[in-house]
Amino acid sequence: MAPRRADDPSINVPPEDEQDAPGDPESVARAICLRLLTQRARSRAELAEALHRRGVPDDAASAVLTRYAEVGLIDDESLARNVALTQHQERGLAGRAVAVKLRQRGLPEPAVDSAVALIDQDSEREAARRLVARKLPAVRGLPEQTQVRRLVGLLARRGYSPSMAGDVVREALAGSIGPGASDDLVAD
């Protein structure tokens, strides 16, 4: 038997865009959500936005999202905690910057607040020290004021308060340059 060609009319394959559109809007919404959730965890707001962009009616989208939340496929609280700890531990972001990231993902404010509460002051200070220690060799040959500016700027971009950034940079430079060498460089 000869192999069938793609243009053979006996092969009944719908066009690509029809393959993704099973009958009713809830089926479409389920398919879209499952496809997105297999890539990575997403917030309810992210999924709602994706469904809206794909033209799924709001009532069908709401029904599917509510059901997925009931069965645990969508869990904004858990997602917020996981993202917060990952962003803080791996990227060195301070609580303020983590909160911004969580809000950008459309997570509800109570979930953001409880996730950011997991990041305490000591943990922030230690993360800031690690960031500065990693960057310090790259700025070591520069003038002290340039070192301070770059290191404080690094911490500021990661969401650290000016006072904590100043303290951490002052400690790091004092340890690498010598005692008291940078005391007057960073004002609180």
Distance CA 35, CA 155 (A): 37
Closest CA to 76 of 39, 38, 47, 33: 47
Same domain, 105 and 136: no
Same domain, 155 and 169: yes
Residue 112 lies in a domain: yes
Between 9-13, 94-98, 120-124, 150-154, the lowest mean confidence (pLDDT) is in 9-13
* pTM of the full structure: 0.74
Same domain, 100 and 148: no
Residue 81 lies in a domain: yes
Q: Answer whether 97's CB lies under 8 Å from 87's CB.
A: yes
Same domain, 61 and 31: yes
Closest CA to 74 of 31, 108, 112, 43: 43
Domain hosting 109: range is: 76-116
Same domain, 130 and 144: yes
Q: What is the pLDDT of residues 123-167, one digit of tens each?
A: 999 999 999 999 999 998 899 999 999 999 999 999 999 999 999
| Counted domains in the chain | 3
Residue 162 lies in a domain: yes
